[in-house]
Protein backbone atom coordinates (compact mmCIF):
# COMPACT_ATOMS: atom_id res chain seq x y z
CA UNK A 1 0.00 0.00 0.00
CA UNK A 2 2.82 2.39 0.91
CA UNK A 3 4.55 1.68 -2.40
CA UNK A 4 1.32 2.46 -4.27
CA UNK A 5 0.98 5.80 -2.47
CA UNK A 6 4.60 6.68 -3.31
CA UNK A 7 4.05 5.76 -6.96
CA UNK A 8 0.99 8.02 -7.08
CA UNK A 9 2.93 10.89 -5.50
CA UNK A 10 5.65 10.53 -8.11
CA UNK A 11 3.05 11.14 -10.83
CA UNK A 12 2.57 14.67 -9.48
CA UNK A 13 6.26 15.58 -9.26
CA UNK A 14 6.16 17.53 -12.49
CA UNK A 15 7.10 21.11 -11.50
CA UNK A 16 10.27 21.25 -13.62
CA UNK A 17 8.64 19.38 -16.47
CA UNK A 18 5.83 21.93 -16.52
CA UNK A 19 8.33 24.77 -16.44
CA UNK A 20 10.31 23.26 -19.32
CA UNK A 21 7.06 22.70 -21.23
CA UNK A 22 6.24 26.43 -20.99
CA UNK A 23 9.52 27.33 -22.74
CA UNK A 24 8.98 24.61 -25.35
CA UNK A 25 5.45 25.84 -26.07
CA UNK A 26 6.91 29.30 -26.57
CA UNK A 27 9.30 27.74 -29.10
CA UNK A 28 6.34 26.06 -30.84
CA UNK A 29 4.82 29.52 -31.39
CA UNK A 30 8.11 31.00 -32.65
CA UNK A 31 7.18 30.97 -36.37
CA UNK A 32 4.01 32.88 -35.51
CA UNK A 33 6.08 35.45 -33.60
CA UNK A 34 8.48 35.82 -36.53
CA UNK A 35 5.60 36.52 -38.88
CA UNK A 36 4.17 38.94 -36.31
CA UNK A 37 7.44 40.89 -36.23
CA UNK A 38 7.55 41.10 -40.02
CA UNK A 39 3.94 42.25 -40.43
CA UNK A 40 4.19 44.97 -37.77
CA UNK A 41 7.36 46.41 -39.26
CA UNK A 42 6.89 46.48 -43.04
CA UNK A 43 4.42 49.34 -43.15
CA UNK A 44 1.26 47.24 -43.27
CA UNK A 45 -1.98 49.23 -42.98
CA UNK A 46 -4.23 49.35 -39.86
CA UNK A 47 -6.93 47.11 -41.37
CA UNK A 48 -4.45 44.37 -42.28
CA UNK A 49 -2.86 44.60 -38.84
CA UNK A 50 -6.27 44.41 -37.14
CA UNK A 51 -7.08 41.22 -39.07
CA UNK A 52 -3.67 39.83 -38.13
CA UNK A 53 -4.24 40.60 -34.44
CA UNK A 54 -7.53 38.68 -34.57
CA UNK A 55 -6.04 35.76 -36.53
CA UNK A 56 -2.90 35.41 -34.40
CA UNK A 57 -4.97 35.59 -31.19
CA UNK A 58 -7.29 32.85 -32.46
CA UNK A 59 -4.30 30.67 -33.37
CA UNK A 60 -2.73 31.16 -29.93
CA UNK A 61 -5.98 30.38 -28.10
CA UNK A 62 -6.76 27.36 -30.28
CA UNK A 63 -3.27 25.99 -29.67
CA UNK A 64 -3.59 26.20 -25.88
CA UNK A 65 -7.25 25.22 -25.54
CA UNK A 66 -7.65 22.97 -28.58
CA UNK A 67 -4.58 20.80 -28.05
CA UNK A 68 -5.34 20.27 -24.36
CA UNK A 69 -8.95 19.35 -25.17
CA UNK A 70 -8.11 16.95 -28.02
CA UNK A 71 -4.83 15.44 -26.81
CA UNK A 72 -4.59 16.50 -23.18
CA UNK A 73 -1.26 18.03 -24.17
CA UNK A 74 0.37 20.84 -26.07
CA UNK A 75 3.58 20.10 -27.99
CA UNK A 76 5.59 21.21 -24.96
CA UNK A 77 3.79 18.75 -22.71
CA UNK A 78 4.14 15.97 -25.28
CA UNK A 79 7.89 16.57 -25.31
CA UNK A 80 8.22 16.56 -21.52
CA UNK A 81 5.92 13.60 -20.90
CA UNK A 82 3.11 15.22 -18.93
CA UNK A 83 -0.63 15.26 -19.60
CA UNK A 84 -3.67 17.19 -18.33
CA UNK A 85 -6.58 15.13 -17.03
CA UNK A 86 -9.68 15.66 -14.91
CA UNK A 87 -9.44 15.10 -11.17
CA UNK A 88 -10.94 11.65 -11.71
CA UNK A 89 -8.28 10.87 -14.38
CA UNK A 90 -10.87 11.13 -17.16
CA UNK A 91 -10.34 12.93 -20.46
CA UNK A 92 -10.95 16.68 -20.33
CA UNK A 93 -14.27 18.14 -21.39
CA UNK A 94 -14.26 21.21 -23.65
CA UNK A 95 -15.59 23.34 -20.78
CA UNK A 96 -12.60 22.33 -18.65
CA UNK A 97 -10.13 23.11 -21.42
CA UNK A 98 -11.63 26.59 -21.80
CA UNK A 99 -11.83 27.28 -18.06
CA UNK A 100 -8.23 26.16 -17.65
CA UNK A 101 -7.10 29.01 -19.91
CA UNK A 102 -9.83 31.53 -19.08
CA UNK A 103 -7.48 34.12 -17.54
CA UNK A 104 -5.04 34.19 -20.52
CA UNK A 105 -8.09 34.38 -22.81
CA UNK A 106 -9.36 37.42 -20.87
CA UNK A 107 -5.90 39.02 -21.13
CA UNK A 108 -5.91 38.34 -24.88
CA UNK A 109 -9.38 39.86 -25.38
CA UNK A 110 -8.39 42.95 -23.38
CA UNK A 111 -5.28 43.33 -25.53
CA UNK A 112 -7.34 43.01 -28.73
CA UNK A 113 -9.71 45.77 -27.59
CA UNK A 114 -6.85 48.09 -26.61
CA UNK A 115 -4.81 47.50 -29.76
CA UNK A 116 -7.89 47.87 -31.98
CA UNK A 117 -8.63 51.27 -30.41
CA UNK A 118 -5.05 52.37 -31.10
CA UNK A 119 -5.11 51.09 -34.68
CA UNK A 120 -8.31 53.05 -35.27
CA UNK A 121 -6.44 56.19 -34.19
CA UNK A 122 -3.48 55.33 -36.43
CA UNK A 123 -1.19 54.41 -33.49
CA UNK A 124 0.59 51.48 -35.12
CA UNK A 125 3.95 51.90 -33.39
CA UNK A 126 4.98 49.56 -30.58
CA UNK A 127 2.80 46.82 -32.09
CA UNK A 128 -0.35 48.84 -31.63
CA UNK A 129 0.25 49.56 -27.94
CA UNK A 130 1.32 53.15 -28.64
CA UNK A 131 2.96 54.95 -25.74
CA UNK A 132 0.29 54.29 -23.10
CA UNK A 133 2.48 53.65 -20.08
CA UNK A 134 -0.52 53.20 -17.78
CA UNK A 135 -1.82 50.27 -19.79
CA UNK A 136 1.60 48.58 -19.67
CA UNK A 137 1.74 49.08 -15.89
CA UNK A 138 -1.73 47.66 -15.24
CA UNK A 139 -1.38 44.84 -17.74
CA UNK A 140 2.11 43.92 -16.58
CA UNK A 141 1.12 44.04 -12.91
CA UNK A 142 -1.93 41.84 -13.50
CA UNK A 143 0.14 39.30 -15.46
CA UNK A 144 2.84 39.27 -12.76
CA UNK A 145 0.33 38.77 -9.94
CA UNK A 146 -1.37 35.98 -11.86
CA UNK A 147 1.95 34.27 -12.56
CA UNK A 148 3.00 34.44 -8.90
CA UNK A 149 -0.34 33.02 -7.76
CA UNK A 150 0.09 30.15 -10.20
CA UNK A 151 3.55 29.31 -8.89
CA UNK A 152 2.62 29.65 -5.21
CA UNK A 153 -0.42 27.41 -5.45
CA UNK A 154 1.47 24.83 -7.46
CA UNK A 155 4.18 24.64 -4.79
CA UNK A 156 1.81 24.38 -1.84
CA UNK A 157 -0.30 21.32 -2.63
CA UNK A 158 0.56 17.66 -3.03
CA UNK A 159 -0.77 17.32 -6.59
CA UNK A 160 1.06 20.47 -7.76
CA UNK A 161 -2.19 22.00 -9.04
CA UNK A 162 -2.02 25.66 -10.09
CA UNK A 163 -4.91 28.14 -9.80
CA UNK A 164 -6.17 27.35 -13.29
CA UNK A 165 -6.25 23.64 -12.39
CA UNK A 166 -8.53 24.40 -9.43
CA UNK A 167 -10.75 26.58 -11.64
CA UNK A 168 -11.13 23.84 -14.27
CA UNK A 169 -11.04 20.78 -12.01
CA UNK A 170 -7.91 19.43 -13.66
CA UNK A 171 -4.54 18.05 -12.68
CA UNK A 172 -1.26 17.58 -14.56
CA UNK A 173 0.40 14.19 -14.19
CA UNK A 174 3.48 12.41 -15.44
CA UNK A 175 2.65 10.07 -18.30
CA UNK A 176 3.31 6.37 -18.07
CA UNK A 177 6.11 5.70 -20.61
CA UNK A 178 4.03 3.23 -22.61
CA UNK A 179 1.28 5.85 -23.00
CA UNK A 180 3.51 8.57 -24.42
CA UNK A 181 2.84 9.73 -27.95
CA UNK A 182 5.02 8.10 -30.59
CA UNK A 183 7.66 10.47 -31.89
CA UNK A 184 7.85 12.49 -28.69
CA UNK A 185 11.64 12.63 -28.98
CA UNK A 186 11.37 14.15 -32.44
CA UNK A 187 8.93 16.72 -31.05
CA UNK A 188 11.36 17.52 -28.24
CA UNK A 189 14.32 18.07 -30.55
CA UNK A 190 12.21 20.06 -33.02
CA UNK A 191 11.12 22.39 -30.23
CA UNK A 192 14.68 22.75 -28.92
CA UNK A 193 15.85 23.70 -32.42
CA UNK A 194 13.00 26.23 -32.72
CA UNK A 195 13.95 27.64 -29.30
CA UNK A 196 17.53 28.18 -30.48
CA UNK A 197 16.41 29.65 -33.81
CA UNK A 198 14.12 32.04 -31.95
CA UNK A 199 17.18 33.62 -30.36
CA UNK A 200 18.75 34.16 -33.79
CA UNK A 201 16.13 34.75 -36.50
CA UNK A 202 14.41 37.86 -34.98
CA UNK A 203 17.72 39.72 -35.28
CA UNK A 204 17.50 39.42 -39.08
CA UNK A 205 13.84 40.39 -39.42
CA UNK A 206 12.51 43.94 -39.96
CA UNK A 207 12.68 45.91 -36.75
CA UNK A 208 11.36 49.25 -35.57
CA UNK A 209 14.10 51.84 -35.55
CA UNK A 210 15.40 52.77 -32.12
CA UNK A 211 16.84 56.26 -31.80
CA UNK A 212 18.91 57.72 -29.01
CA UNK A 213 20.73 60.95 -28.23
CA UNK A 214 24.41 61.07 -27.43
CA UNK A 215 26.63 63.92 -26.34
CA UNK A 216 29.91 64.30 -28.21
CA UNK A 217 32.27 67.24 -27.63
CA UNK A 218 29.50 69.13 -25.89
CA UNK A 219 27.15 68.83 -28.88
CA UNK A 220 23.90 66.97 -28.79
CA UNK A 221 23.74 64.67 -31.77
CA UNK A 222 21.20 62.19 -33.03
CA UNK A 223 22.25 58.63 -33.70
CA UNK A 224 20.17 56.11 -35.64
CA UNK A 225 20.56 52.49 -34.62
CA UNK A 226 19.31 51.07 -37.87
CA UNK A 227 20.26 47.46 -38.47
CA UNK A 228 19.60 47.84 -42.17
CA UNK A 229 22.03 49.24 -44.72
CA UNK A 230 21.70 53.05 -45.02
CA UNK A 231 22.23 53.22 -48.78
CA UNK A 232 20.51 55.80 -50.97
CA UNK A 233 16.78 55.00 -51.17
CA UNK A 234 14.28 56.34 -53.68
CA UNK A 235 10.91 57.67 -52.55
CA UNK A 236 8.96 54.66 -53.87
CA UNK A 237 10.82 52.36 -51.45
CA UNK A 238 10.22 54.49 -48.36
CA UNK A 239 7.43 53.71 -45.89
CA UNK A 240 5.80 55.74 -43.13
CA UNK A 241 7.94 53.92 -40.57
CA UNK A 242 11.03 55.88 -41.67
CA UNK A 243 11.52 58.84 -39.35
CA UNK A 244 13.48 62.04 -40.17
CA UNK A 245 16.69 60.59 -38.72
CA UNK A 246 16.52 57.66 -41.13
CA UNK A 247 15.58 59.95 -44.02
CA UNK A 248 18.41 62.38 -43.34
CA UNK A 249 20.91 59.53 -43.22
CA UNK A 250 19.69 58.14 -46.54
CA UNK A 251 19.70 61.69 -47.92
CA UNK A 252 23.40 61.99 -47.06
CA UNK A 253 24.07 58.63 -48.77
CA UNK A 254 22.29 59.92 -51.87
CA UNK A 255 24.39 63.09 -51.86
CA UNK A 256 27.57 61.07 -51.51
CA UNK A 257 26.59 58.99 -54.54
CA UNK A 258 25.57 62.19 -56.39
CA UNK A 259 21.93 61.09 -56.65
CA UNK A 260 20.68 64.54 -55.80
CA UNK A 261 17.07 64.04 -56.88
CA UNK A 262 16.69 61.13 -54.47
CA UNK A 263 18.43 63.17 -51.79
CA UNK A 264 15.87 65.97 -52.26
CA UNK A 265 13.00 63.48 -51.99
CA UNK A 266 14.33 62.25 -48.65
CA UNK A 267 14.88 65.80 -47.40
CA UNK A 268 11.38 67.04 -48.28
CA UNK A 269 9.73 64.01 -46.67
CA UNK A 270 11.90 64.40 -43.55
CA UNK A 271 10.76 68.01 -43.21
CA UNK A 272 7.06 67.20 -43.59
CA UNK A 273 7.37 64.27 -41.17
CA UNK A 274 9.15 66.66 -38.79
CA UNK A 275 6.29 69.18 -38.98
CA UNK A 276 3.83 66.37 -38.35
CA UNK A 277 5.82 65.17 -35.32
CA UNK A 278 6.08 68.69 -33.93
CA UNK A 279 2.28 68.89 -33.97
CA UNK A 280 1.71 65.65 -32.08
CA UNK A 281 4.24 65.96 -29.24
CA UNK A 282 3.40 67.73 -25.97
CA UNK A 283 6.83 69.36 -25.48
CA UNK A 284 6.91 72.20 -28.00
CA UNK A 285 10.56 73.00 -27.21
CA UNK A 286 11.48 69.90 -29.25
CA UNK A 287 9.97 71.14 -32.50
CA UNK A 288 13.30 72.23 -34.01
CA UNK A 289 14.80 68.73 -33.85
CA UNK A 290 14.68 68.25 -37.63
CA UNK A 291 16.38 71.61 -38.26
CA UNK A 292 19.17 70.69 -35.84
CA UNK A 293 19.43 67.27 -37.45
CA UNK A 294 19.72 68.75 -40.95
CA UNK A 295 22.45 71.17 -39.84
CA UNK A 296 24.43 68.35 -38.25
CA UNK A 297 24.10 66.07 -41.28
CA UNK A 298 24.88 68.75 -43.89
CA UNK A 299 27.91 70.01 -41.94
CA UNK A 300 29.66 66.80 -42.98
CA UNK A 301 28.87 67.24 -46.68
CA UNK A 302 31.44 68.65 -49.10
CA UNK A 303 30.82 72.29 -50.08
CA UNK A 304 30.64 71.54 -53.83
CA UNK A 305 28.17 68.75 -53.21
CA UNK A 306 26.02 71.05 -51.07
CA UNK A 307 25.92 73.58 -53.90
CA UNK A 308 24.97 70.95 -56.49
CA UNK A 309 22.31 69.61 -54.16
CA UNK A 310 20.82 73.07 -53.67
CA UNK A 311 20.76 73.64 -57.47
CA UNK A 312 18.71 70.47 -57.93
CA UNK A 313 16.28 71.56 -55.23
CA UNK A 314 15.86 74.99 -56.82
CA UNK A 315 15.53 73.70 -60.39
CA UNK A 316 13.61 70.46 -59.96
CA UNK A 317 11.48 70.94 -56.84
CA UNK A 318 10.51 74.61 -56.81
CA UNK A 319 6.93 75.51 -55.89
CA UNK A 320 4.51 74.52 -58.65
CA UNK A 321 7.08 72.38 -60.50
CA UNK A 322 6.23 68.95 -61.89
CA UNK A 323 8.93 67.48 -59.68
CA UNK A 324 7.25 68.75 -56.53
CA UNK A 325 3.81 67.68 -57.73
CA UNK A 326 5.00 64.13 -58.40
CA UNK A 327 6.80 64.10 -55.07
CA UNK A 328 3.65 65.15 -53.25
CA UNK A 329 1.74 62.29 -54.89
CA UNK A 330 4.31 59.95 -53.39
CA UNK A 331 3.88 61.62 -49.98
CA UNK A 332 0.13 61.09 -50.21
CA UNK A 333 0.69 57.41 -51.01
CA UNK A 334 3.15 56.94 -48.13
CA UNK A 335 0.73 58.45 -45.60
CA UNK A 336 1.31 60.02 -42.22
CA UNK A 337 4.04 58.67 -39.89
CA UNK A 338 3.28 55.66 -37.68
CA UNK A 339 6.57 55.52 -35.73
CA UNK A 340 6.92 56.89 -32.21
CA UNK A 341 8.89 60.19 -32.50
CA UNK A 342 11.40 59.50 -29.74
CA UNK A 343 14.08 61.39 -31.70
CA UNK A 344 12.09 64.62 -31.28
CA UNK A 345 10.79 64.00 -27.75
CA UNK A 346 14.35 63.36 -26.53
CA UNK A 347 15.45 66.63 -28.11
CA UNK A 348 13.07 68.70 -25.98
CA UNK A 349 13.64 70.27 -22.57
CA UNK A 350 10.58 68.87 -20.80
CA UNK A 351 10.21 65.30 -22.08
CA UNK A 352 6.58 64.21 -22.18
CA UNK A 353 4.95 62.22 -24.94
CA UNK A 354 2.17 62.65 -27.48
CA UNK A 355 -0.78 65.01 -27.14
CA UNK A 356 -4.20 63.54 -26.49
CA UNK A 357 -6.90 63.40 -29.19
CA UNK A 358 -4.47 64.21 -31.99
CA UNK A 359 -6.18 63.98 -35.39
CA UNK A 360 -3.40 62.43 -37.47
CA UNK A 361 -5.35 62.22 -40.72
CA UNK A 362 -6.52 65.85 -40.68
CA UNK A 363 -3.08 67.19 -39.77
CA UNK A 364 -1.43 65.15 -42.52
CA UNK A 365 -3.89 66.43 -45.12
CA UNK A 366 -3.31 69.98 -43.87
CA UNK A 367 0.46 69.65 -44.21
CA UNK A 368 0.16 68.28 -47.73
CA UNK A 369 -2.14 71.15 -48.65
CA UNK A 370 0.29 73.75 -47.26
CA UNK A 371 3.44 72.26 -48.75
CA UNK A 372 2.07 70.84 -51.98
CA UNK A 373 -0.80 73.16 -52.85
CA UNK A 374 -3.16 70.18 -52.73
CA UNK A 375 -6.78 71.23 -52.94
pTM above 0.85, yes or no: no
Count of alpha carbons within 13 angstroms of residue 77, beta-carbon side: 20
Question: Which parts of the chain are beta strand (E)?
Answer: 82-86, 170-174, 211-216, 219-224
For the cut 70, the answer to whether the pLDDT of residue 121 exceeds it is no
pLDDT 10s digits, 320-330: 888 888 999 99
- How many angstroms separate the CA atoms of 47 and 34, rounded? 20
Alpha-carbon torsion angle 58, 98, 105, 33, nearest 10: -40
Q: What is the SS3 assignment for 200?
A: coil
pLDDT 10s digits, 32-64: 999 998 888 775 567 888 899 999 999 999 999
pLDDT 10s digits, 272-298: 999 999 999 888 787 788 888 888 888
Amino acid sequence: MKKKVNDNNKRYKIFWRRTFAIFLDGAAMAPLMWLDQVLWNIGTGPLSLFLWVILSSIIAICYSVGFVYVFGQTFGKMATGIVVVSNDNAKLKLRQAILRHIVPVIFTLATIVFVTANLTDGKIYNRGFGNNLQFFIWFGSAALIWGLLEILTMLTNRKRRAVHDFIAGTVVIKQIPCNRISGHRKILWTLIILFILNMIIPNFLPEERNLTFTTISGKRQMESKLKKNSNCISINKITNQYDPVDLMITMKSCINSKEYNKAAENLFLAKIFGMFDASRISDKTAGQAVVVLQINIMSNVDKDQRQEFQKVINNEFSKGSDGLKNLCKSFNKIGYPIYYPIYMISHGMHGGGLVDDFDAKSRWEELLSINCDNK
